[in-house]
Chain A
Amino acid sequence: MTGPAYDQALAIAPGALRAPWTRRVRDAVLLLLALAALVGMAIDLDLAPGALMTGFGKLARFLGEMFPPSSGGQSERILKALAETFAMAFAGTAIAAVVALPLGIIGAKTVVSNPALHFAFRRFLDIFRGVPALVWALILVSAFGLGPFGGVIALALADIPNLAKLFSESLENADAKPLEGVRSAGASPLAVMRFGLAPQFAPVATSQTLFFLEGNFRNAGVLGIVGAGGIGFELDERIRIFAFDEVAFIILLYMIAVAGLDTLSRWFRNRLA
């Protein structure tokens, strides 16, 4: 982008076309520092280019072995595992919703108006919000024995703080006017909740819960890796013996199921909205 027009423009307004050299040097130094930090981290983690190359070779072979996908004559067992995965997700979401509801009510500013208490409670939930379901599942399966039970509790534990936060936010966002209307008609506090608040809150909460069901179906698929049964267990087993045609079959089936549940749930949520 040079030429007489550019030179002319540069003469009129040098700052508009080119940043002062101090800033350019500073930007360059910052960029170099960031790159150096990244390279340093890569070295610290022992990310060797050689391992990368051999790994890609192996990966290409795995991907080649995936075609054509095959059920290995165990499609019934795989379908059962898929059903078990859904059962885990459904039960986990149900428990999470039931526990998160009272927590969400306590966490709503409109219910507990003391700011210090509100802040403390929200922070308490925040602490647990980041813990992934798999981290819970690992210890729960070890404590409760192999099987889906630990997985269900793990999914619920990972969801409760997040769902409670969403619930309290939607309670706070509820319009106060319908409540006043019901109250002014002489209704009891319970009736105010039932006819003023519930019609506003229930559709939003249901839609949020459905959203978590979708997420849990994805999460439940991997909990089997730590022994919580379901499709993850079948996958882990087959990856260990390098049966990648069966791995591809399970992954495809699972992804179709995930997409199916997403579509169904989206249809429900659209109807609620």
Chain B
Amino acid sequence: MNVTNPTVEAFERERRRALIRQRTQAVIGLAIFTVLLLVSFQRSQFFGSDIGGDPLGRIADFLQRMNPDLKPEALLADRQTQGSLHSWFYALPIWLRAAWQTVEMAILATALGSVLALGASFLTAQNLMPFAPVRFVVRRILEAIRTLPDLIMALILVAAFGVGPLAGVLTLTISTLGGLGKLFAEINEEIDPRQLEALQASGAGPLKKIRYGVMPQVLPNYASYALIRLEGNLAGAAALGIVGAGGIGLELQRAITYTEFDTYLAILMIIIAMIFLIDLFSEAVRHRLIGLEKA
């Protein structure tokens, strides 16, 4: 096979060049990735730290310490008995109360944040706010809120408002405003303009236009987003407690202060159950809302 066709030769040359380019790119990419990975593991003291290497051994030891050490024959005994369920969940009423506070924080923050986001979304939607500078400013504020991690905001607000649920509710309200404001504005911009035009033609003012032209179209979508947000806020509220913003997170912090690892596991299970229940609730309501929309 003696190929002398110049077109084929040119093609082969081109192909070789493309292959070499591709492979160099892959090798360079892989090298950068490997270096990044090694440096990352080194910097994060994965294999060597002040308390020794052996990451797997440390994990095993930790799991061992978290084990509540239940005794099958004493499961239902009272609090004083070692190895009973009661001695593991020794402060259950207090924890449930704290968990409920966390739920309240999440609900309040979601409600307040949604109302604020509603206002902000009308100020940023192109079809409802004709004055461009207002749109610009409100949008930038919402963006700034979204880039700032919740917990950093919480740290500052705890410093200002003191330890307790108030700082937590405010943090989650502001972050809900940032997240939902954007989503609500997007919904607003997708509405059917004909209903607005009809209201305009009949001489309705801006408030009437929003009430009769926008609300009926957007409310189900709003509610759906707000409920998803509620799920996120609940997990957020649990974490915020750790930095002093009230609720079940404070109990986690307390368990750690007394190095009660098995207690931590117990509270963690309560948090997981709480998140799971709210997820179920929110899913059920959302499905109903979507069902209503179809009907």
Contact = CB atoms under 8 A, between A and B. Distances in A.
Interface of A: 1, 5, 38, 41-42, 44-48, 51-52, 55-56, 58-59, 62, 83-84, 86-88, 90-91, 94, 126-128, 130-135, 138-140, 142-145, 147-149, 151-153, 218-219, 221-222, 225-226, 232, 235-236, 239-240, 242, 247, 251, 255, 258-259
Contact of A147 (B40, B50, B65): B50
Interface string B254-265: 001001010010
Chain B interface SS verdict (over half) = helix
A225 B160 CA distance: 17
Contacts, number: 180
Interface in B60-82: 61-62, 65-66
Contacts of A219: 149
A220 B236 CA distance: 15
A45 B252 contact: no
Chain A interface SS verdict (over half) = helix
Given A45-B169, A83-B43, A87-B43, A225 B242 contact: yes
Interface residues of B, number: 70
B272 A131 contact: yes
Contacts of B268: 131, 135, 139
Contacts of A240: 159
Interface string B50-65: 1100010011011001
A1 B256 CA distance: 62
Contacts of B41: 87, 91
A209 B166 CA distance: 35
B62 A144 contact: yes
Given A55-B162, A139-B252, A143-B62, 15 more contacts: A41-B107, A45-B101, A47-B166, A91-B40, A94-B40, A130-B272, A130-B276, A132-B239, A134-B242, A135-B268, A139-B256, A145-B49, A219-B149, A239-B155, A251-B148
A144 B155 contact: no
A130 B275 contact: yes
